[in-house]
Structure 1
Amino acid sequence: MDAYIYRLIRFILLISFLIPSFICFLFVFFYLVKNREINSKQLQHHVILVLLFCNFILITTELPISLLYSYQGYVKPESNQFCSFWVAYNYGLYVAGLFLMAFGSVERYFLIFYERYVIKWRFIIHYPVILICFIYPLTFYNVIVNTYPCENVYYYDAYVCGGACYQYETIVGTIDYLIHVVTPTTFIILANIILLLRFTYQKRAMKLANTWRKYRLMYIQLVSISMLYFIIWIPFVIISLIRLFYDPLFLQDVTMLIINYCLYIGPLASPFISLVGLPGVRQHLRRNNLITPWISRNAQNLIGPAATFKKRTEQQQMALRKEYDEHTF
């Protein structure tokens, strides 16, 4: 298929997902601020909120650059300074999202089983770590892209201008990829597997302690977002590792035309998935018939005949009982 067709399809799909995602982001942020759902004691929401903020920045500031590139077929403006900015900004936001997801996966385990200690030490192990996860990747890539002693040769007809020159340095590029992509992805996988096993093992005890409902929502919220990251990042990591250590040309065209842009699915879908762990938001949507109104209509169609049948049966029973009483009298 012609590259223009790929770019056009990619542009249409991304812009189609961007609009509802943007609206959902605004709704979630507005609702949380208005209803003060997030406070200093609800630590389980903080990482997710910062992750949503990071993803919101990505889809509103970085994704438009990719959309413009997909539409035109070249980077605009055509300058090394802009390419350096795009590379550092793109990498920084993606890695910040991975770091926040990895920390959230680990912290969620301790919030469920050792919540008292996390709350006690939150000013040391909670707030500072979230801040570092967000600021460090943006700072790191801004520094290494602009100050590493090599000459950036950018291609204005390539995604993120073909990348920065440090990536083609074997040692530096490999260490960067292993630390900033493979490591957080591995933490996400291991932390969720351990949490699943522990959560399943202690399910009965948590029900007896009346904490099952509270922690179930926390668990479902994390697993929902984590599964999204699994589906998107694991294929990307596997392909990248093969290209890094075995065959540099492995699935090169697929990566350039499809895989790189699939990474946007996570940020675009994150506000919808975050609703799973925010019962207040879901209840508000249900009250206003904003979530699956067809379910309500179908439920009414199903409940209506059932209720009518039940009422008719009760009336018949009352009539028979009255008739029996009259005959007995």
Structure 2
Amino acid sequence: MSNSSNNSTVHTTGTVISYAGTSVNAIPLIGRFWMYLISNCASFICSIFVLYHLLFNKNLRWGLNNHAFIVGLIINLFVLVLDVPLYLYYLYHGIVWIQVPLICQLWRYIDAASYTVLPKLVAWASFERHILIFNERRLLRLKNRILFHYIPIGAIASYHILLYMIINLFLPCQNRFVYTQSYCGYSSCAYQTAYTIYELFTNGVLSSVCIAFFSITLIVRVVYRRYRVRGQVDWRKHRKLTIQLLFVASIFYIFYFPLVILGVWRYITGITNFGSQYYVYGSFFSFYVNFLFPFGCVGTIPQLKTKIKKILLCWKIKSTAVAPRIVKKQQSPTGQKPVTANTTL
């Protein structure tokens, strides 16, 4: 995942990858590679585990609080399967694996679309939690569920998928592909226009403000209602819905918000090299939004500990052949024929 609105030039010299005059030499190349590889494998396994339960468990599948996360997990899965492996190859070899312009554009498209869709979905989930907890009756009618639940989630996902498809695949640009740079050095010519400012503030700033505002106010409202209305609300359910959201929102607090704040500060002050070293490391660790997102969603699964224990037990149990026991014959004291037990299985 990279910040599309603040694309930095990436240069490769031997085993050193540098961004806009700075480098990430403090983390060895092999260390960076294994960090991404291990994180990606763990995230992929967790994604399959969570999606399996959310899609095949009827109660979870129909739960309105899970729908935004289901869409986010499916989109994030494309990043784990397509985006990250291509980046891992580049990171290890210092050159792009499939040197075809269309592949480079698709690579950038997946990265850019996921980078904007996930924060928007989490922002909407943060707002929708207020409705699900405090105004749940409004969504009992099918008409209201369509207007205030299904349409917003579908609009957020489809808008960004189509927008970045046009920007990265169909917008006529004179591009020069450099296969010794990540994403082939490709950046749509749309970022040479005022669209960069639009993306920064509508995607970065708006998403950050919504996630922060709605998640914090949700905590305040839930706690306030807990102490004001004692015994008349399902506190356990409200607490669970709030904690589920906070797990996911905390990922964006750590890995997403700082880069957005830095981008806004650069735009306001005009100092484009301000915080360059932090931007390098922030961009590198921004992939952990994708890596950790499934782990944030795992809290939506009930009886999680029991399910994990069952999986671990299945791994430990191995089919083993039981050898037959041999019982030695012993002479009966009365001279009778000894009785031998048939223990062969």
State the TM bucket, normalised to the shorter chain.
0.7 to 0.9
CA distance 1:39–1:89, change in 2 (3 Å): closer
Shift of residue 28, structure 1, vs aligned partner: 1.9
Contact in 2 for aligned 1:275/1:282 (Cα 8 Å)? no
1:106 corresponds to which of 127, 135, 152: 127
1:224 corresponds to which of 238, 244, 247: 247
Q: When you count helix as a share of all residues, which structure comes out higher?
A: 1
Shift of residue 33, structure 1, vs aligned partner: 3.7
Shift of residue 212, structure 1, vs aligned partner: 0.4
Contact in 2 for aligned 1:206/1:212 (Cα 8 Å)? no
Q: TM-score, normalised by structure 2?
A: 0.76
Output the CA distance in 2 between the equivalents of 1:282 and 1:207. 30
Output the CA distance in 1 between the equivalents of 2:94 and 2:278. 17
Moved more, 219-228 or 123-132: 123-132
CA distance 1:124–1:30, change in 2 (3 Å): same
Output the CA distance in 2 between the equivalents of 1:12 and 1:58. 17
Alignment root-mean-square deviation, CA: 2.4
The match for 1:66 is 87
Output the CA distance in 1 between the equivalents of 2:218 and 2:282. 29
- Unaligned segments of structure 1, at least 5 residues: 291-329
The match for 2:322 is none
Alignment of 1:52-91 (within 5 A): 52-91=73-112
CA distance 1:200–1:210, change in 2 (3 Å): closer
Superimposed CA distance per residue, residues 145-177 of structure 1 (whole angstroms, 9 cap, x where no aligned partner): 3444643344433333252222132x2211122
Aligned pairs, how many? 287
Contact in 1 for aligned 2:53/2:301 (Cα 8 Å)? no
2:46 corresponds to which of 24, 27, 33: 24
Letter in 1 for 2:123: A
Contact in 2 for aligned 1:99/1:184 (Cα 8 Å)? yes
2:192 corresponds to which of 159, 162, 168: 168
The match for 1:306 is none
CA distance 1:177–1:49, change in 2 (3 Å): same
Output the CA distance in 1 between the equivalents of 2:220 and 2:186. 42
Output the CA distance in 2 between the equivalents of 1:210 and 1:285. 31
Letter in 2 for 1:65: L
CA distance 1:149–1:272, change in 2 (3 Å): closer
Output the CA distance in 1 between the equivalents of 2:61 and 2:50. 15
The match for 1:249 is 273
1:94 corresponds to which of 109, 115, 140: 115
Output the CA distance in 1 between the equivalents of 2:131 and 2:170. 39
The match for 2:146 is 123
CA distance 1:150–1:22, change in 2 (3 Å): closer
Contact in 1 for aligned 2:53/2:60 (Cα 8 Å)? no
Q: TM-score, normalised by structure 1?
A: 0.79
Alignment of 1:10-49 (within 5 A): 10-40=32-62, 42-49=63-70
The match for 2:294 is 271
Q: Match of 1:182, SS?
A: helix
Output the CA distance in 1 between the equivalents of 2:189 and 2:163. 15
Letter in 1 for 2:89: L
1:280 corresponds to which of 283, 303, 306: 303
The match for 1:3 is 16
Letter in 2 for 1:94: Y
Output the CA distance in 1 between the equivalents of 2:297 and 2:188. 33
**Structure 1 residue 196 and structure 2 residue 196: aligned?**
no
Moved more, 22-31 or 224-233: 22-31
Output the CA distance in 1 between the equivalents of 2:256 and 2:210. 13
**Structure 1 residue 238 and structure 2 residue 251: aligned?**
no
Letter in 1 for 2:16: A
Shift of residue 289, structure 1, vs aligned partner: 6.2
Shift of residue 189, structure 1, vs aligned partner: 0.9
Output the CA distance in 2 between the equivalents of 1:126 and 1:85. 30
Moved more, 239-248 or 212-221: 239-248
Q: Match of 2:222, SS?
A: helix
Output the CA distance in 1 between the equivalents of 2:95 and 2:261. 28
Output the CA distance in 1 between the equivalents of 2:252 and 2:210. 12
CA distance 1:164–1:262, change in 2 (3 Å): same
- Unaligned segments of structure 2, at least 5 residues: 1-12, 18-24, 314-345
Superimposed CA distance per residue, residues 12-70 of structure 1 (whole angstroms, 9 cap, x where no aligned partner): 10101112222222222223344334243x21111122222222221112111211221
CA distance 1:277–1:39, change in 2 (3 Å): closer
Q: Match of 2:79, SS?
A: helix
Identity %: 24
Contact in 2 for aligned 1:17/1:268 (Cα 8 Å)? yes
Superimposed CA distance per residue, residues 81-118 of structure 1 (whole angstroms, 9 cap, x where no aligned partner): 33222222210111111111111111111111111113
Alignment of 1:137-156 (within 5 A): 137-148=160-171, 150-156=173-179
The match for 2:331 is none
Letter in 1 for 2:114: L
